[in-house]
Amino acid sequence: MKKIGVAILGLGVVGGGAYRILTEHREFYKTTQAVDISVECVLEPNRARLEALGVPDEIVANNIAEIACDPDVNIVVECIGGVDVAREYVLDVLYGGKSVVTSNKELIAKYYHELERTAKRHSAGLYFEASCVGGVPIIRTLYDGVQSNKITSMMGIINGTTNYILTKMTEEGTSYSAALKEAQQLGYAEADPDADVEGYDAAYKLSVLSSLAFHTKIPYTKVLREGITGVCEEDIARGKALGYRLKLLAVAKQSEEGIEVRVHPAFLKKEHPLASVAGSYNAVFLTGDSVGDLMLYGKGAGDLPTGSAIVSDILYAASRVEPRYSTFKNTASPEKDVKFVTDFASSYYMRLTVNDKTGVLSKIAAIFGKYNISILELLQTPESDKATLVIVTHETHEAAIKNAVAKLNASELAKVEAVLRVVS
């Protein structure tokens, strides 16, 4: 029976979950996978975590050098988070020819090219299923499930924190600040929530996933990123009344025009499969040229769901004769012939405050017409001498909407209070 020694760097939520699964399922993996996986070392300075998990003292390492030099360790699991120390430690063990499994989406988004180059030079593997969408096997699906397809689009809810907040705001009318506070109390959001609510986490994940899906390097710096901090309850409620649900969406598309990658709040029709993904759950909706539409759904975070993805990579690495590497030229920058679409097409939701006077609507329509924007839905709510207009447009382009908004705000006709994209 094949024997694999594992070291775990960091026993926080994810590392602790992976440790529990590996120790509790060791006999199960012997029976079902014909591999004996033993945790040989852990690197964790927090004694309370070690004691809570019952980690034997004899497998606790004092530093990364002990692990890098340990002949009994074949695979190193990185769960310490951040990028500086994590990058240093991962490079150290890759230099030693040890394969790495990581849950660190920021590390992969920023240094995938460097880490994979080092892994190749030392015949080591680099695996990161747990870095994107928690326990949902999206990376394995892209590698081993839909590889017969050209993926034309990918759209997903890939951050559990923001989905929890938007679900509370939509279903219960909770304010943003109250929903965020509750997410923090439940452990879904950090004390400093910017990585989640400003869209950085989702942008890192989309960079990784779109690179794999489209077989070309897509740096995270190419992802248009907008968070949810500017979203208000009024627009969520008005959108809901129109039959829409607001989500922080990650969108990636590939066409003859080029590649578009973006993370931002967007309305979905309530009938769309992603619209019903609630709470901290995640989902990814894929379209392949042969298979058509697919959706993967599950828990996007947590100790055991993400730990499950970590252990899945360990088993995957243990079963391979040769390490698996990317299918594209993995460099810091995209290849020169890759075009990125920034003036993408979408429908739009707009909320305006206007003077409640005769002729205002026709003048607004004239501005829209100047930029080839047509109106799909329009609702007007009178408020003394003012009125609130809610407009949903037919599909148009980003530049057209920006120009129309600038024109409206510069006029005395209306003040544009909110603009949100609508995804069909």
Catalogue the active-site residues.
205
CA distance 320 to 150: 25
Q: Which string of DSSP letters, residue by residue, matches 274-314? A: GGG--TTEEEEEEEETTTEEEEEEEE-SSHHHHHHHHHHHH
CA distance 21 to 92: 26
Q: Which amino acid type is present at position 14?
A: V
CA distance 394 to 373: 7
CB under 8 Å, gap of 24 or more: what pairs does 88-94 form? 88/64, 89/9, 89/64, 90/115, 91/115, 91/118, 92/64, 92/65, 92/68, 93/7, 93/64, 93/67, 93/68, 93/124, 94/118, 94/119, 94/122, 94/124, 94/126
Query: Around Cβ 46, how many Cβ atoms within 10 Å?
Result: 11
Q: How many CA atoms lie within 13 A of 156 on its CB side?
A: 32
Query: Around Cβ 272, how many Cβ atoms within 10 Å?
Result: 17
Q: Which amino acid type is present at position 142?
A: L
Give the residue among 228, 136, 242 at the shortest CA–CA distance from 176.
Answer: 228
Give the residue among 342, 339, 370, 344 at the shortest CA–CA distance from 422.
Answer: 344
| DSSP designation for 60 | B
Asked whether the CA dihedral 98, 103, 106, 109 is positive or negative, the reply is positive
Coarse DSSP helix, strand, coil percentages of the chain, rounded to the nearest 5 percent: 40, 30, 30
